[in-house]
Amino acid sequence: MKNQVQLITYVDRLGGGGVQRLSVLLQGPLAGLFGGVHLLPFFYPIDGADAGFDPIDHTQVDPRLGDWADIQALAQHTEVMADVIVNHISADSPQFQDYSARGDASPYAGLFLTLDSVFPQGATEQQLLAVYRPRPGLPLHYATLKNGQKKILWTTFTPKQLDIDVHHPEGEAYLNSILQRFADSGIRMIRLDAAGYAIKKAGQSCFMMPETFAFIADFAAKARRLGIEVLVEIHSYYRRQIEIAARVDWVYDFALPPLALHALFFKTAAPLKRWIAERPHNALTVLDTHDGIGIIDIGADAQDRIGSPGLVPPAELDALVERVHANSGGQSRQATGAAASNLDLYQVNCSFFAALGGDERAYLLSRALQFFLPGVPQVYYVGLLAGGNDMALLAQSGVGRDINRHHYSVDEITAELQRPVVQQLLALIRLRNEHPAFAGQFSLADTADEVLQLRWQQGEEYAELRIDYRDQSHLLHYSTPEGVQQMSLA
């Protein structure tokens, strides 16, 4: 993975076209900005129950976006990351349709997890309550198959996303086919989506158990043999994230977005610096993604609230969420929690720019912080253009996370790229990509709680960022052949 900024985007929401049009953007107006691009699900279909995360055919590019030849052509000039959705497949998939028609006589009968297959001896109330849930209710869905059989299917997320037995021969063959298809198409990075839920075990949490780690390690080994690096997506208690990072190639730094907001809102860098001192360095740093702003990632352990406190106190975490709602003019409240069909318990749905109330300096300081931390930065396409909340799309779809999934036309992109805040962000991206110091040694200075000072050094080359969160005063300076240069943000 290149040590350069990556772009995260839906293929059809940045320029309104397919893979070829996105490729033109990356080689045209966005040329030289990104060392890689994470393409959010582009499989058939892209408009299912969960914006592509419930593909009917994970090995087929949605024809509206192009084909595998287009993906391969894109990969010739920009490293491509794609999602492998390991936990579930669509209820409309050929595999489930065969199972529904033939029931236990189908070769796919054992592929789909049911209450009985996870709890063959029956489930007690205590066992069911022990299952870790990202959403309210049990991970179970009552279904009548086409052949008349009645089943209680395991559904971690939605009834259209059916959990599979990843160790069943058909499960292994299915996942292996995705890896091979990706490798053949030039994809060299994958993100394991929902991997933390992939293994189920009676009487356990069914989330990031030793057996889950074993599955991830085995799957990652298969990917590496095909020349593919693996990113594991896990939202969890921050110490658990550190444990996970020690056992995988890459993880997300999901604690960073809420901590960046906390530093600005509470005018202190103390929790942020505590995290920087112990955070894993094999991390992809983000401020925004296609999902919401995580809260669980800096809060107390949901399973052990007393003995495992979070990075910030509960009262401050609650106040942070309320501040986001206030800064967005109440828009985020309409898209979060039980609102707008959103069932995620640990996220606030809002663009990061809107979460800061459109404060351009605060936004650029947050981006500078992101780029100065060890790891590989990823910038979400809405964040690249300092985008606000799309309330029209939210009203149209009724899906909370769509508030931060705007469809940009080519004309909109052209206009947004001219905004001063976006121009400064592009300058920051180029600095992060091109300055040799970012391939050197990182250090965190010992400063007052209100001040954050980060430095990269390689030989005589250096880059340093100092932020005083009391008033957002800052100093960003770096070496050049002509001497020391400074960059003022907004």
Residues annotated catalytic, as ranges: 193, 233
DSSP, collapsed to helix, strand or coil, labels residue 8 as strand
Q: Is the dihedral of CA 18, 22, 24, 25 positive or negative?
A: positive
Q: Is the dihedral of CA 134, 136, 140, 141 positive or negative?
A: negative
What stretch of H or E contains 443? strand 441-444
Q: How far apart are CA 331 and CA 394, in angstroms?
A: 10
- Burial letters 16-32, b for 16+ CB under 10 A, else e: ebbbebbbebbeeebee
DSSP letter string over 147-191?
TS-EEEEE-SS-TTEEEB-TTSHHHHHHHHHHHHHHHHTT--EEE
Q: How far apart are CA 348 and CA 185, in angstroms?
A: 35
| Residue 227 CB coordination number (10 Å) | 10
User: What is the crossing angle of helices 19-27 and 68-75, to 10°?
Assistant: 10
Cβ neighbourhood burial of 339 (10 Å; 0-12, 13-18, 19+) = middle
Bridge partners of residue 244, in order along the sequence: none
End-to-end CA distance of the chain: 31
Instruction: Compute, in degrees rounded to 10, the torsion defined by CA atoms 340, 343, 348, 351.
Output: -50
Token reading at 490: 């907004």
Long-range contacts of the stretch 397-402 (C-beta < 8 A, 24+):
398/340, 398/341, 399/51, 399/340, 399/341, 399/342, 400/292, 400/335, 400/336, 400/339, 400/340, 400/341, 400/342, 400/344, 400/349, 401/51, 401/290, 401/291, 401/292, 401/335, 401/342, 401/349, 402/335
Q: How far apart are CA 151 and CA 479, in angstroms?
A: 65
Token reading at 320: 């942070």
Sole residue written with tokens 């691009």 = 37
Residues recorded for the chain: 490
Contact 444, 454 (CB under 8 A): yes
